Amino acid sequence: MGLLALGLLHDPDDGGEYFTEAFKHYGYYTGQDFVVLGSRLGLPEKPIRAFIRKLAIDQKKITDTINHSYMPDDMKGRAIQMVKDRMQALQLLGPEAS
């Protein structure tokens, strides 16, 4: 249930998929996995965390867009639930870096 079509983190040692402790614990990708990905790409942790927090703040805009779309109502409900689930997973960021 990683919620992505492809693996997020490549293990440089064995060439397979690398899983963070958060993934091992929850069984799906969390905000912590994206912090690790950003770090591997050379991005500072603070802006990654800030972006994830901003996504949570903008969640209402996303759900409003879905509600005002031409999707059938049952599809709107599933899409909104998917957004809520993904946002909840992203909020699992682990400890702040020192």
Residue 27: per-residue pLDDT: 86
Domain boundaries, the chain: 30-90
- Predicted TM-score (pTM) of this structure: 0.76
Please answer whether residues 4 and 65 qualify as being in contact, where contact means their C-beta atoms are separated by less than 8 angstroms.
Answer: no
Residue with tokens 């899409």: 79
What pLDDT digit, counting tens, does each position of 39-67 carry? 999 999 999 999 999 998 999 999 999 99
**Please, what is the end-to-end C-alpha distance for the chain in angstroms?**
31
